[in-house]
Amino acid sequence: MNMIMESTSPNQLVALNMEGLDTPPLTLSQLAWRRFRRHRMAMFGAIVLALLFLYSFGGSLVLSESYANHTDTSLRIMSPSAEHLFGTDSVGRDILARTIYGGQISLLIGLTAVVIETFMGILIGALAGYYGGWIDSLLMRITEAMLNIPEIFLLIVMAKFFGGKIPEIEFIGRTFSGSVIVIVVIIGITSWMYLARIVRAQFLSLKENEFVLAAHATGTSNVQIIFLHILPNSMAPIVVSATLGVANAILAEAYISFLGLGVQPPTATWGNMLDGATNYLESAPWLWFFPGLLILLTVLSINFLGDGLRDALDPRSRAI
């Protein structure tokens, strides 16, 4: 669960003569797309990520959910075979199918948690950066306080408490245990701090710009200035942060589910498939290997993607 980001350094001497180009000027997004395309790792990451989504969501068209949940103790703990490509688990369920449906949850949790944390991060960061003064002090103190408590501890405590409180829900044709909502919310409310700091820094520097002064002068309201003027200009670090935040959220869910406090069975996630697999460390490595590998591939491709996005959108950034 790392939020450490960095960039490679541009070579000064190469900055020599770029102004002299006699080609038609490119728009910002065209330029960004070009840089992104050149970033082979990022393209690789994007492709693998697309494949993973295809696997999880397309896979459900091939193998039904009831098949994934079908237990047959006579088939328990079978090593990978032609019929069960990833083997079977301790109650005889096909692991491949479970990773497909588990993947849906893990990925969905990643995405929705990021929506929450981005929303909160932007709100708090914008308010703190724009208004400054005591609002800024207060919000930043709270942000710092929350940053000082390791995420996983907060997650454990909150998951423990809110765990059983929410009933099952129906979504995209499946029934989820209420713990999914809980996990999404608590990941969201423990991860907004990084983005809040970034957004605040953006607002602090942008609010002195002339276009903001002009907007004030023409009587634009503060809310409009924040959301229609300054925010669109700070999208680059927000996009990068949100992308990398998905990886963080997927990892967070995996950690907490692994500890048994996250999404509760029978709803599968890649994380909770690993819980209990520790008992079969030696005898049935396929129980933990495949879900673990899928988590790794997902997080890795998101990291590649995020790295490429950062180089494309904001080549000089180095945020921590």
Residues at the interface with another protein (CB under 8 A)? 1-2, 4, 6-14, 16-22, 38, 41, 141-142, 144-153, 156-158, 160-161, 247, 251, 254-255, 258-259, 261, 271, 274, 277-278, 281-282, 285, 288-289, 292-293, 295-296, 299-300, 303-304, 307, 318, 320
**Rounded Cα gap, residues 242 and 222, in angstroms:** 25
User: CA-CA distance, 191 to 13, in Å (whole number)?
Assistant: 39
Q: Give the shortest CB-241-to-another protein separation in angstroms.
A: 16
Smallest gap from Cβ 264 to another protein, in A, equals 14
Of 267 and 303, which has the nearer Cβ to another protein?
303
Minimum Å gap between C-beta 212 and another protein is 30
Q: Is the distance from CB of 263 to CB of 103 less than 8 angstroms?
A: no
Is the CB of 85 or the CB of 147 nearer to another protein? 147
Smallest gap from residue 7 Cβ to another protein (A): 6
Strand partners, 176: 169
Residue whose CB is less far from another protein, 11 or 218: 11
Place of tokens 């990833």: 86
Give the 3-state secondary structure percentages of the chain, helix then strand then coil, rounded to 5.
Answer: 70, 0, 25
Rg for the chain, CA atoms, rounded: 23
Least distance from C-beta 294 to another protein, angstroms? 10
d(CA 37, CA 315): 14
Q: Which is nearer to another protein, 22 or 208 (CB)?
A: 22
What length does the chain have?
A: 320
State residue 36 phi and psi, 5-degree precision.
-65, -45
Closest to another protein by CB, 192 or 234: 192
